Amino acid sequence: MHPIGPSVPSPWRQRALVPVLVSLCMLVAVISSLGAPLIPTIAAVDHVSVSDAQWSLTVTMLVGAVATPTMGRLGDGPHRKKVILTGLGVVMAGSLLAALPLGFACLIVGRAMQGVGMGLVPLAIAAARDSVPPQRARSALSTLSLTTAAGVGIGYPLTGLLAETLGMYAGFWFAVIATALAFAAAALVLPRTPPRPAHPMDVPGALLLAFGMGGLLFALTQGESWGWGSPRLLVLGAVSVLVLLGWVLHGLRTAHPLVDLRLIRDRTVFAAHLTTMMGGVGMYLLISLVTRYVQTPPGAGYGLGASVVVTGLILVPFSVGSLAAGRVVRILVRTQPPVRLLPVSCLLSLAALLTFVFAHGRLWESS
């Protein structure tokens, strides 16, 4: 009988594993950032409002929020490599759909499919944790955790440059080619997952989370056009909140929930999750506001009238700062407890938002 377990990879596969995982995380970050600088361009090309074009970014984040725990659950058992390859296949198909000039609806569907790629990052980190030798694991995991910020920094100016020189769809064609290469590399290099027990998929939890978040985000984006006090907006918002409450109750009662909400009973875990959520909301709002403001012509009463390329470059300092902060925090935690670092980080983020509110008359201030 042959032993059941992961096959021993060849030496070249061992050497190539970390670079392939890093490129995978980099690809996810670049693709997820494609929508941000293009929002005004998408609105002009597809003849939709800027608030509707905002969905080219929102839908990717929404699908990523649901896909990340879902793919984590599916990839936690013996089928991690299949889940990664399937996710890359969905991202490639979505990139192709977004790259074809088929209209705004197809672009949004393609961007939604690209959001599946966000679930690949934790799977790549898990693959490194299981397969990279212990002496290299720490540096590999640290590199993977910082790759997302670096990838976003590359994605913003790359998107602007491609859109400025080759048209709006060029960035999505780049995503098709890059995803195809990543799929081939992952198929060749990723090892088989070590055997571990697999838990059943929480399908009701995934559906409740998707519909609740989707409805709430749709209500927020339609507030300007429907009116913030309109009955249909209030009904949609109330129903979405009720669906999310149902998701919470379901998660507390099921044996293997999609997201284990019981962990938030720990005050430390609750504070960390709440801070991460609020930080994510602030980051999303800041990126959306900056891209819209920088590209709006001054004739509208506000804005700097910059090109897509300049808008992409404006967002580079954000990624550079995130990358530098990750390095600095890794050094500081050796001497300072996280309970001290977390408030300082929140204050720095608040300072960045206030700076944009009160000082945005020049490009260097917006960056």
pLDDT at 6: 46
Nearest to 320, CA basis, from 104, 156, 209: 156
What is the average pLDDT across 206-226? 84
pTM of the model: 0.78
The pLDDT > 90 percentage for the chain reads 19
CB neighbours of 60 closer than 8 A, spacing ≥ 6? 32, 35, 111, 112, 114, 115, 118
Rounded Cα gap, residues 321 and 186, in angstroms: 30
Q: What is the pLDDT of residues 283-316, one digit of tens each?
A: 767 777 777 788 778 777 777 777 777 777 777 7
Nearest to 317, CA basis, from 355, 278, 264: 355
Higher per-residue pLDDT: 342 or 15: 15
Q: Show the CA angle centred on residue 284, arms to residues 281 and 290, nearest 5°.
A: 135
Eight-class DSSP state of 75: T
Report the mean per-residue pLDDT for the chain: 81
Q: What is the pLDDT of residues 157-177, one digit of tens each?
A: 777 788 778 888 888 999 999
pLDDT at 3: 43
